[in-house]
Amino acid sequence: MISHAIRHVRVTPIAFRDPPLLNAAGIHEPWALRSIIEIETACGRVGINETYGDLPMLDALAKAAPALQGLSPWDLNTMEDRVAALVSPAKTGSEFLGEQISLAPGTHVSKNVAKVISAFEVAMLDLQGQLAGAPIVDLLGGAARDAVPFSAYLFFKHAEHIDKTRTEYLPDPWGEGITPEQMVAQARRMIDQYGFKSIKLKAGALPPEQEVAAMLALAQAFPGAPLRIDPNANWTVATSLKVVEQLRGVLEYYEDPAPGLNGMAAVARESDVPLATNMVVTDYKEFAENVRLGCPVRIVLSDHHYWGGLRTTQQLARLCQTFDMGLSMHSNSHLGISLTAMTHLAASVPHLAYACDTHYPWQDDEVVQGGRLKFEDGSLRVPRTPGLGVQIDPEALARLHDNYQHCGIRNRDDLGQMRKYDPTFTGKQPRY
């Protein structure tokens, strides 16, 4: 009898180019970090996944990986128990530095247990699907939809990174995105190329009046398109209420305008635009507090990477439905493995209320065989081949790992990068 027991876990850190995208914490560095997980069984099958690639995450993965040896790919509960016993959920600190915790709660090291569980779970589900001859979406209960819609994700940005001494920092093809006219052109290019039907603007980077002007220009240029804005809690309650009044009739939802759940509740009391978050409802304890407050957050933008995997995010979806809340999905700088896992999950959730976020148009590199995933009319079709439905391209993996070896970045630091442009920049939130 052929054994399907896990015999080895490989974790390969990678880096790929990232444009100079502005946000509340600062600006993206020239390289984004991820890690590729490969779980190999005794019979030679390999399940794969993609997750964060900062040093604290790599350390946590290395600490937990030996505990998977000998497990069946089906034994997810034991995997979770072993990870929880080995990976300590720290109370403070972040893979980002200092003030950037609030920007990306999934990078907080207190989420490490859930992040490691998610990293291994997807790869084990990939193995399960291969063994069963079924796509992951079928392991999750079957597809509620054949294709998953995504949204155009716009960023204010510079035309090039500030360090021009390195060839990889040359101008990117998207050019500058600062003025309303430039943001309309950015949206048009993204929609023309990918077919997206809705638009999200990453805000909190420029004075609010400039960002409002960009949103109004988008509303005029794309009449009827659902529009969202996300300042990453970089506005006070007063500013949040002023902006939402200026954008009356424009917004589909209002994502994380003010800091903290109490700040969001204060905005909700004075506005009828539904509030969405990936910052203040990031685990079940925070979900319960939102319910206790009367659900000021009406839409949870889930992220399986820090919620603990695909299965627990399905549970979150049921809770959202129970409390009459919407659900969609948050994105980070990612490649095709992560995006495919997200697609399986979103397809399995009947209660998917809005098109999902994705940074994918901002990345040019890829690690999967066949190259870049193809959007059709703003959506990705759900793979029907066994498991995850994508495989690693060994040459691409080697190239991106070489990038990691030479890029000099080990922890994402948008704040530090921004100080190269403006040494007085503090990253203080809320700023406006």
Q: What is the pLDDT of residues 110-124, one digit of tens each?
A: 789 999 999 999 999
| Domain match, 286 and 242 both | yes
Q: What's residue 243's pLDDT?
A: 98
CATH number of the domain at 399, please.
3.30.390.10
pLDDT (average), residues 222-243 = 98
pLDDT (average), residues 176-204 = 98
Cβ proximity of 357 and 338 under 8 Å: no
Q: What's residue 103's pLDDT?
A: 56
Report if residue 421 sits inside a domain. no
| Domain match, 258 and 340 both | yes
Q: What's residue 172's pLDDT?
A: 83
pLDDT (average), residues 71-75 = 98
pLDDT (average), residues 261-288 = 97
State pLDDT tens for residues 158-167.
999 998 666 5
Q: What's residue 3's pLDDT?
A: 82
DSSP state letters, 65-124: GGGGTT--TT-HHHHHHHHHHHS---SS-BSS-GGGGTT-GGGBGGGHHHHHHHHHHHHH
| Domain match, 32 and 93 both | yes
Alpha-carbon gap, residue 183 to 21, rounded angstroms: 13
Tokens found for residue 28: 């993206």
Q: What's residue 167's pLDDT?
A: 56
Q: Determine the residue type at 87.
A: V
| Domain match, 282 and 193 both | yes
| Domain match, 264 and 368 both | yes
| Domain match, 59 and 165 both | no
Mean of the per-residue pLDDT values of the chain: 94
Kindly report which listed range (46-55, 61-70, 104-113, 125-134) carries the lowest average pLDDT score.
Answer: 104-113
pLDDT (average), residues 238-254 = 98
Report if residue 221 sits inside a domain. yes
CATH number of the domain at 288, please.
3.20.20.120
Report if residue 424 sits inside a domain. no
Report if residue 142 sits inside a domain. yes
Number of domains the chain is built from: 2
Q: Would you name the residues annotated as active-site residues?
A: 202, 330
Report if residue 106 sits inside a domain. yes
Q: What's residue 402's pLDDT?
A: 98
Report if residue 414 sits inside a domain. no
Tokens 């090039």, residue located: 160
Cβ proximity of 184 and 408 under 8 Å: no
Tell whether the torsion through CA atoms of 174, 175, 176 and 182 is positive or negative: negative
pLDDT (average), residues 194-201 = 98
Question: 391 vs 115, 127, 348, 400, CA distance in Å?
Answer: 22, 12, 21, 15
| Domain match, 162 and 245 both | yes
With CA atoms as reference, report the closest residue to 383 among 140, 193, 197. 140
Q: What's residue 98's pLDDT?
A: 35
Alpha-carbon gap, residue 43 to 84, rounded angstroms: 27
Q: What's residue 25's pLDDT?
A: 95
Q: What's residue 101's pLDDT?
A: 42
| Domain match, 106 and 144 both | no
With CA atoms as reference, report the closest residue to 412 among 423, 401, 404. 404
State pLDDT tens for residues 77-117.
999 999 999 997 655 433 333 334 445 565 677 789 999 99
For residue 227, count CB atoms less than 10 angstroms from its CB and return exposed for 0-12, middle for 13-18, buried for 19 or more.
Answer: buried
With CA atoms as reference, report the closest residue to 382 among 432, 427, 346, 357. 346
| Domain match, 296 and 235 both | yes
Here the contacts of 324-327 (C-beta below 8 Å, separation 24 or greater) are 324/295, 325/295, 325/297, 325/298, 325/299, 325/300, 326/253, 326/274, 326/276, 326/298, 326/299, 326/300, 326/353, 326/354, 327/299, 327/300, 327/302, 327/351, 327/352, 327/353, 327/354
| Domain match, 129 and 143 both | no
State pLDDT tens for residues 338-384.
999 999 999 999 999 999 999 999 999 999 999 999 999 999 999 99
Quick check: 326 pLDDT over 60?
yes
Binned at pLDDT 50, 70 and 90, residue 169 comes out as: low
Share of the chain above pLDDT 90, in %: 91
Q: What's residue 166's pLDDT?
A: 62
**28: domain range?**
6-133+395-407
